[in-house]
C-alpha cells in the first residue's frame, strides 16, 4: 500500500485554495491539477509499505504527536519546482511557525528511521502542491502577484495523519488510515 504522512486541511481552507487554483488554471495552456480533497502538507513520503507496518508507524506517530504542541501556519505566496519546458510542481509557500513545523517533520523522520525508513536526504521544503506539469500563458511574476492578492484562513496544525494513496479510476484518492492529535 502506497502511503505518506501529512497534515490534512479543513474543507474551508481547501475551498479557498480551489478558488485560487481555478483562477490560475484559466491562465494555462496545460497542467495536471490536484483535486480539492487532495490538498495537504506532506511531512514524509513513505512509498509502498506492508499493511503489517501500519501499527508500528502509527505508534511512532503517536509518540511524536503527544510530545508536540499545536501551532499555526499561513499560506504565503506561490512558487514552483522547475521542469523541462514547464513548472514540474506548482505549489503554495508557507509561513508562520515554521520552526515548530520543521521540528515536527524532523522528529517524524527520526522516529521512522528506527522503523527502517530511510531519512530524507534533501532539505525539507514545506509546500502545498496544487498542480504539476504546468505551462502558463503569461509571465510567472504576474502570476505570483495575482496569487499574493488571495487571503487564506490560518492553518491550525492540530493533528498528523498517515494516508493511503490509491488510484481509483482516473483519480488519485488519499484516505487517512491513522490520525494523531498534537498537544
Give domain limits for the chain. Answer: 2-181
Give, in words, the CATH class of 2-181. Answer: alpha beta
Unique residue bearing C-alpha cell 508536540: 68
Alpha helices in 7-155 (DSSP H): 11-25, 54-65, 98-113, 140-148
Cell of 62: 503517536
Q: For the chain, 183 residues long, give each residue's pLDDT as a single digit of tens.
A: 999 999 999 999 999 999 999 999 999 999 999 999 999 999 999 999 999 999 999 999 999 999 999 999 999 999 999 999 999 999 999 999 999 999 999 999 999 999 999 999 999 999 999 999 999 999 999 999 999 999 999 999 999 999 999 999 999 999 999 999 999
**Is the separation of the CB atoms in 60 and 114 below 8 Å?**
yes
Q: Is 96 left (phi over 0), alpha (psi -120 to 50) or beta?
A: left
User: The C-alpha cell of 79 is what?
Assistant: 512558487
The bridge status of strand 2-8 relative to strand 127-136 is unpaired
pTM of the model as a whole: 0.96
Predicted pLDDT of residue 133: 98
Q: Locate cell 509571465: which residue?
A: 139
Amino acid at each position: 500500500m502506497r502511503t505518506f504522512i501529512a497534515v490534512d486541511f479543513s474543507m474551508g481552507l481547501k475551498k479557498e485554495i480551489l478558488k485560487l487554483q481555478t483562477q490560475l488554471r484559466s491562465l494555462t495552456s496545460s497542467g495536471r491539477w490536484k483535486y480539492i480533497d487532495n490538498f495537504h502538507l506532506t511531512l514524509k513520503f513513505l512509498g509502498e509499505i506492508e499493511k503489517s507496518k501500519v501499527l508500528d508507524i502509527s505508534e511512532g506517530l503517536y509518540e511524536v504527536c503527544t510530545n508536540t504542541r499545536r501551532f499555526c501556519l499561513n499560506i504565503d505566496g506561490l512558487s514552483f519546482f522547475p521542469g523541462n519546458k514547464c513548472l514540474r510542481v506548482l505549489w503554495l509557500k508557507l509561513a508562520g511557525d515554521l520552526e515548530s513545523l520543521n521540528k515536527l517533520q524532523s522528529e517524524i523522520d527520526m522516529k521512522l528511521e528506527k522503523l527502517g525508513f530511510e531519512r530524507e536526504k534533501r532539505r525539507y521544503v514545506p509546500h502545498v502542491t496544487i498542480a504539476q506539469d504546468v505551462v502558463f500563458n503569461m509571465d510567472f511574476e504576474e502570476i505570483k502577484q495575482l496569487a499574493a492578492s488571495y487571503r487564506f484562513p490560518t492553518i491550525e496544525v492540530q493533528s498528523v495523519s498517515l494516508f493511503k494513496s490509491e488510484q481509483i479510476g482516473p483519480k488519485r484518492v488519499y484516505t487517512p488510515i491513522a490520525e494523531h492529535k498534537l498537544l
